[in-house]
């Protein structure tokens, strides 16, 4: 059975990378279009943050069937962190999840991200990239927080587009 494994994997690899690149490019094409519709007086940062909020809420709802409280709060925070990391990894980022200082904390660390590179192509300010990611994650937590009655929060501690070498987010459960 002559399957050329190298050839097949290369084809899949290229297809995956192409699709990941298109996610960022498509988003920024839509951003340009949205800014055009919003008019000259619109603040691009506000438009981007509104979009991130809408996307985040939608993605957050999609996380609900994949989360549960059966193994307690510590496992729950880990599940949420992995969900956030997985959506980012699908876009081409290299993301890891680490335990936080407390049982109800987790650290999401990203050392390679496709978004800043794509943003440069479309002349998008790097601060917008940083705050959009932060807003996206915050919004993704809204529905899981209410649904599970567990107030989740996230803090951006480092950001690649701010020249800090890596992204670091602290995910945690607020005191009730």
Partner 1 sequence: MAKQLFEWDYASYPGAKTYPHLFSPIEIGNLIVPNRIKYAATEDNLNQHDGFVTDADVEYMRRRAEGVVGGLCFMQGVYMDPARKGQGYVGQAAAWDDKYIPGLKKIADAIHSEKAVAGFQLMDCGRVGAVEVPVGHGPSAVPQRLRIFKPMAEMTNAEVKEMIQQHVDAAKRGAEAGFDVMEISGIVGYLISNFISKYTNRRTDEYGGDIRGRMQAVVEIIQGVKEAVGPDIPVGIRLCSEELLDDVGGNTPEESMESYKISEEAGVDYISCTLGWQESIFPVISRDIPQGNWLYLAKRAKEHVKVPVQMAYRIFLPQFPEEAISKGELDMWEICRSMIADPLMPKKVAEGREEEIRHCVACNLCLARLFRDAPMTCYISPVCAHEHDPAFFPTPVEDEDDKKEVMIVGAGPAGLECAYVAAQRGHDVHVYDKREEIGGTLNEASHAPYGDEELMTCVDFQKTMCEKYGVELHLGTEVTEELIEEEAPDTVILATGPVYKKVPGADENAKNIVNVLDVLSGKGSVGDKVVVWGNRKPGIGVALKLAKEGKKVTIVGEEKSAGFDINPSFKWRYMIYLRQNGVTAYNDCTIDEVGDGGIVVKTFDGHRFPVECDTIIVTEREANESLKSAVQSEGAELYVVGDALVPRNLSSAVHDGYRIGLRI
Binding site for partner 1 (CB under 8 A): 1, 3, 5, 8, 11-12, 61, 64-65, 68-70, 143, 146-149
The Cα 97–Cα 158 span in angstroms is 15
Q: Please, what is the minimum distance in Å from the beta carbon of residue 15 to partner 1? A: 8
Residue 119 near residue 129, CB atoms below 8 Å: yes
| Integer angstrom CA distances of residue 26 from 101, 125, 126, 156 | 38, 17, 18, 25
Q: Please, what is the minimum distance in Å from the beta carbon of residue 69 to partner 1? A: 6
Q: Please, what is the minimum distance in Å from the beta carbon of residue 152 to partner 1? A: 13
Two structure tokens written together for 25: 């490019």
CB nearer to partner 1: pick between 45 and 64: 64
CB nearer to partner 1: pick between 11 and 111: 11
CB nearer to partner 1: pick between 35 and 142: 142
Residue 86 near residue 157, CB atoms below 8 Å: no
């Amino acid at each position: 059975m002559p399957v050329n494994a190298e050839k097949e994997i290369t084809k899949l690899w290229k297809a995956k990378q192409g699709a990941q690149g298109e996610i960022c490019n498509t988003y920024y094409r839509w951003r340009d279009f949205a800014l055009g519709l919003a008019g000259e007086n619109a603040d691009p940062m506000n438009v981007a943050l509104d979009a991130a909020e809408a996307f985040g809420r939608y993605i957050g709802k999609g996380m609900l069937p994949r989360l549960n409280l059966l193994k307690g709060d510590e496992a729950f925070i880990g599940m949420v962190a992995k969900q956030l990391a997985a959506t980012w990894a699908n876009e081409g980022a290299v993301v890891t999840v680490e335990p936080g200082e407390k049982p109800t904390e987790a650290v999401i660390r990203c050392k390679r991200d496709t978004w800043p590179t794509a943003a440069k192509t479309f002349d998008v300010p790097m601060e917008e990239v940083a705050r959009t990611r932060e807003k996206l994650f915050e919004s993704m937590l809204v529905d899981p927080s209410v649904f599970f009655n567990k107030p989740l929060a996230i803090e951006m501690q480092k950001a690649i587009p701010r020249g800090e070498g890596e992204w670091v987010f602290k995910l945690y459960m607020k005191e009730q």
